[in-house]
């Protein structure tokens, strides 16, 4: 039977807390290894005990998992390696316990098909002297266990969009507990979360991570997604990164990626921004190819998007592929906003191609 329609009895959190409060031996650290599975969109995680608190990823042993159960390997040659790459504090287990972002490698030590970080880290190293910064706006939708948006009337629709964006009130803001818990958990973990807001569609929300430099942007965004999924799990709510969860007159969900280099942030950086936009224009199709599955359902030219088949840029234009924020136009320096990435994009793939196109002049 479909688990989504079955009733899962909530476990007793008071009883749980008796055990979470147990003292933990000094020489034991719980390390949760987190990785991207074969879909390229979902995360998986498993936990092991380390003997001491790791200070850098090099202190943490490689591990492995059954890739035939995650869409990453054949059953006959199923072990996939986990390579620890960044460390975060664990807001669930507290203390010295850690969340470890990992890359995945095949038996022959080649990156798996969904390991987009390996290429990204190369690109970020090559452009380190340009100090690339990313601020990523992650939109998502909360769903009930039956798959219908959280707080929406069963078998029906809420009032049309209008009162929900940055909305306040029981019938405007649906699921805020999850949003606030997630915000604090990100801060505790060491994710550079910079804000949050309710979105245009009810039960849709956004948070921003950044500006973060280079590879940190992808690492932090993936950990922030793990935290969101875990926290919503505790509340019995699903998180959807579907770029257009409800067809029709309801906004889709994106992952706007704000980007700058040192040159763009310095006086008259607008010239570097304009130059970047002309490079992005030439590679529009290639970028769209890595900006998320199902993005054609979202990038329709309506609901604050540009049409997927057209590239355009403009100051303060939320119907553009690339927007130059008004303040940036006035200051003549700052950053650009790539509005094309979908909510389910892989931020490693997105930041990788942006840097390769703009900073490394890669062409098709």
Question: Binding of ligand ADP at residue 133 (CB under 6 A)?
Answer: yes
Q: Specify the residue, 208 or 343, whose C-beta has the smaller distance to ligand ADP.
A: 208
Q: What are phi and psi of 98, to 5 degrees?
A: -130, 150
Q: Specify the residue, 133 or 226, whose C-beta has the smaller distance to ligand ADP.
A: 133
Question: Binding of ligand ADP at residue 341 (CB under 6 A)?
Answer: no
Strands 204-213 and 29-36: unpaired
Distance between CA 325 and CA 262 in Å, rounded? 17
Q: Which stretch binds Mn ion (CB under 5 A): 34-42, 182-190, 209-217, 256-264?
A: 256-264
Question: Binding marks (x or -) toward ligand ADP, 237..266, rule CB under 6 A?
Answer: -------------------x-xxx----x-
Q: Please state, in angstroms and as integers, the Cα–Cα distance from residue 85 to each residue in 34, 55, 56, 152, 212, following that order.
A: 10, 12, 9, 40, 16
The total of other beta-carbon atoms located within 10 Å of residue 316's CB is 12
Query: Which of 188, 234, 235, 227 minimizes the C-alpha distance to 207?
Result: 227
335 binds, among ligand ADP, Mn ion, none (CB under 5 to 8 A by kind): ligand ADP
Query: Which of 260, 137, 257 minimizes the C-alpha distance to 195?
Result: 137
Question: Binding of ligand ADP at residue 208 (CB under 6 A)?
Answer: yes
Question: Binding of ligand ADP at residue 211 (CB under 6 A)?
Answer: yes
Q: Which stretch binds Mn ion (CB under 5 A): 127-135, 177-185, 199-207, 209-217?
A: 199-207
Question: Binding of Mn ion at residue 338 (CB under 5 A)?
Answer: no
230 binds, among Mn ion, ligand ADP, none (CB under 5 to 8 A by kind): none
Question: Binding of ligand ADP at residue 284 (CB under 6 A)?
Answer: no
Distance between CA 280 and CA 191 in Å, rounded? 28
Residue pair 249/201 in contact by the 8 Å Cβ criterion: no
Task: Using DSSP, state whether 327 is helix, strand or coil.
Answer: helix
219 binds, among ligand ADP, Mn ion, none (CB under 5 to 8 A by kind): none
Q: Which residues bind ligand ADP (CB under 6 A)?
A: 133-135, 137, 194-195, 208, 210-211, 256, 258-260, 265, 334-335, 337
């Amino acid at each position: 039977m479909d688990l989504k329609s079955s009733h899962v009895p909530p476990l007793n959190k008071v009883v749980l807390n008796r055990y979470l409060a147990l003292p933990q031996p000094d020489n034991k650290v719980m390390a949760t290894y987190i990785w991207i599975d074969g879909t390229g969109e979902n995360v998986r995680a498993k936990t092991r005990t380390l003997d001491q608190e790791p200070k850098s990823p090099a202190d943490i042993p490689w591990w492995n998992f059954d890739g035939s159960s995650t869409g990453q390997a054949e059953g006959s040659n199923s072990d996939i390696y986990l390579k620890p790459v960044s460390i975060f504090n664990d807001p669930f287990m507290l203390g010295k316990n850690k969340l470890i972002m990992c890359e995945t490698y095949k038996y022959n030590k080649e990156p798996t098909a969904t390991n987009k970080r390996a290429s990204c880290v190369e690109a970020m190293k090559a452009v380190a002297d340009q100090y690339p910064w990313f601020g990523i706006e992650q939109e998502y939708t909360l769903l009930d266990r039956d798959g219908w948006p959280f707080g929406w009337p069963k078998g029906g629709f809420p009032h049309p969009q209008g009162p929900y964006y940055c909305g306040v009130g029981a019938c405007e803001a649906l699921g805020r507990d999850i949003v606030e818990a997630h915000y604090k958990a990100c801060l505790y973990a060491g994710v550079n979360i910079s804000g949050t807001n309710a979105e245009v569609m009810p039960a849709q929300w956004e948070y921003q991570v950044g500006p973060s430099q280079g590879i940190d942007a992808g690492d932090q965004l993936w950990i922030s997604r793990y935290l969101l999924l875990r926290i919503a799990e505790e509340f019995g709510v699903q998180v959807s990164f579907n770029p257009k969860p409800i067809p029709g007159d309801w906004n889709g969900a994106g992952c706007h990626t704000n980007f700058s280099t040192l040159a763009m942030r310095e006086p008259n950086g607008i010239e570097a921004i304009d130059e970047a936009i002309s490079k992005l224009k030439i590679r529009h199709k290639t970028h769209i190819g890595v900006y998320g599955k199902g993005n054609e359902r979202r990038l329709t030219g309506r609901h604050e998007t540009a049409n997927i088949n057209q590239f355009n840029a403009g100051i303060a234009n939320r119907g553009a592929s690339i927007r130059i924020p008004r303040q940036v136009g006035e200051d003549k320096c700052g950053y650009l906003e790539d509005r094309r990435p979908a909510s389910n994009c892989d931020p490693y793939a997105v930041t990788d191609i942006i840097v390769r196109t703009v900073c490394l002049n890669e062409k098709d």
